[in-house]
A = this chain, B = another copy of it.
Amino acid sequence: MPKLDLDTIPQTNRTGYPPPFDAPVQGRWYRRLAPPGGLTDFGVSHVVLQPGAWSAQRHWHEGEDEFLVMIAGEAVLVDDDGEHVLRPGDCAAFPKGERNGHHLQNRTERDCVFVVVGGGENRGGDYPDIDMRFTADDRYVHKDGSAY
Contact = CB atoms under 8 A, between A and B. Distances in A.
A138 interface: no
A103 to B, nearest CB: 11
A72 B89 CA distance: 8
How many copies, total? 2
A120 B79 CA distance: 29
Interface stretch (A12-20, A34-42, A127-135): A34-42
Interface residues of A, number: 45
A99 to B, nearest CB: 12
Contact of A65 (B3, B6, B40): B40
20 contacts: A1-B84, A2-B77, A2-B81, A2-B93, A4-B92, A6-B89, A33-B67, A33-B91, A34-B67, A36-B93, A37-B92, A39-B67, A40-B95, A41-B118, A42-B119, A44-B117, A69-B71, A71-B89, A115-B115, A117-B117
